[in-house]
Amino acid sequence: MQGWNQAIELIEQDLTQEIEVRVLAKAALTSEYHFRRMFSSLAGIPLSEYIRRRRLTAATAELLEGLTVLDVAVRYGYGSAEAFNRAFKSMHGLSPAEARLPGAVLHSQPQLRFHLRVEGNTDMKHRMEDKAAFRLIGLKARVPLVHEGPNNAIIELQRGLDPSVTKRLLELADMEPSGPLSVTDNIEEERTEGSELDYWHAVASTKPVPEGFESVEVPAGLWVVFEAEGKFPDVLQGMWADAATEWFPANPYRWVPGPEMLSVQVEPGGTHGRGQLWIPVEREDLR
């Protein structure tokens, strides 16, 4: 927590200057990729959005103290007064001129503080897997990210699959995780709602890629595998949230780029079942 709060202090040192994520990640003793991922999960807001809102909060105070819109826009890195006006209105719902009127209601982004909170009420069933290189074979589509509730784009993709496609894929599956997989990859780092990702209907395999299918080579590496069962899709979406907010902060590993694989066994009726979530990780260097 000390490292994460130090990163927040680095942001606050001068909100008018460009902020380098690598410097923040170094303060938190982690990688840029992991820092962005964990910041979004822990803070509930993407890093870029937090910085934007902190800058606008500071800029608003200076505007109300009498600085001109152009002066504030230039000071906080906006290309023009018009660009600043648009950003200002998106946060406050008012123009800078309206914000100066008596009784104007404005918004602000408080400075974050990370604190250790003892919970541990979620039983995180998991295991570590040191896995050899393999390939994913299947069909891929670009879809929006949905944090809670059904992802209609994925549902429509699955409904449109010919059963013979899944049958052919299963004939190629020859390693763990077994069976048909739902795979997400190339996710925008900050994982905002509606951002895009690659979704795969695939299997893990060492076999050649048949015509009509796509593939991606996955290098050898370390994986954490979470297991859960319960109501769909809540229990599956909850695995990602629990991994980010409970497991990673408590364990010496960090999230690394790579496909995240979900293996699902659905009970009759389709509302309950079991799932395994595979996330690529590396051990943190805590020196």
Q: What is the pLDDT of residues 112-164, one digit of tens each?
A: 887 755 454 455 678 889 999 999 999 998 988 876 667 788 888 888 888 88
Check residue 76 and give its pLDDT. Answer: 93
Q: What is the mean pLDDT of residues 93-105?
A: 89
Between CA 206 and CA 265 the distance in angstroms is 23
Does the pLDDT at position 263 exceed 50? yes
Of 191 and 20, which is predicted with more confidence?
Answer: 20
Does the pLDDT at position 203 exceed 90? yes
Check residue 149 and give its pLDDT. Answer: 67
Residue whose structure tokens are 């780092």: 189
Check residue 58 and give its pLDDT. Answer: 92
Check residue 84 and give its pLDDT. Answer: 94
Prior bond of 233 cis (ω within 30°): yes
* % of the chain residues with pLDDT over 90: 43
Does the pLDDT at position 172 exceed 90? yes
Check residue 261 and give its pLDDT. Answer: 94
Q: Among 255, 268, 286, which residue's Cα sits nearest to residue 277?
A: 255
Q: What is the mean pLDDT of residues 236-264?
A: 82
Check residue 118 and give its pLDDT. Answer: 47
Check residue 220 and give its pLDDT. Answer: 94
Check residue 135 and give its pLDDT. Answer: 95
Check residue 120 and give its pLDDT. Answer: 45
Check residue 117 and give its pLDDT. Answer: 54
Check residue 158 and give its pLDDT. Answer: 81
Residue whose structure tokens are 């229990």: 235
Give residue 200's pLDDT band: very low, low, confident or very high (50, 70, 90): very high
Check residue 116 and give its pLDDT. Answer: 55
Mean pLDDT of the chain: 85
Check residue 233 and give its pLDDT. Answer: 65
Prior bond of 177 cis (ω within 30°): yes
Give residue 191's pLDDT band: very low, low, confident or very high (50, 70, 90): low
CB 260 within 8 A of CB 236: no
Residue 12 exposure: Cα atoms within 13 Å on the Cβ side:
11
Q: Among 220, 217, 238, which residue's Cα sits nearest to residue 228?
A: 238
Between CA 188 and CA 192 the distance in angstroms is 8
Check residue 189 and give its pLDDT. Answer: 64
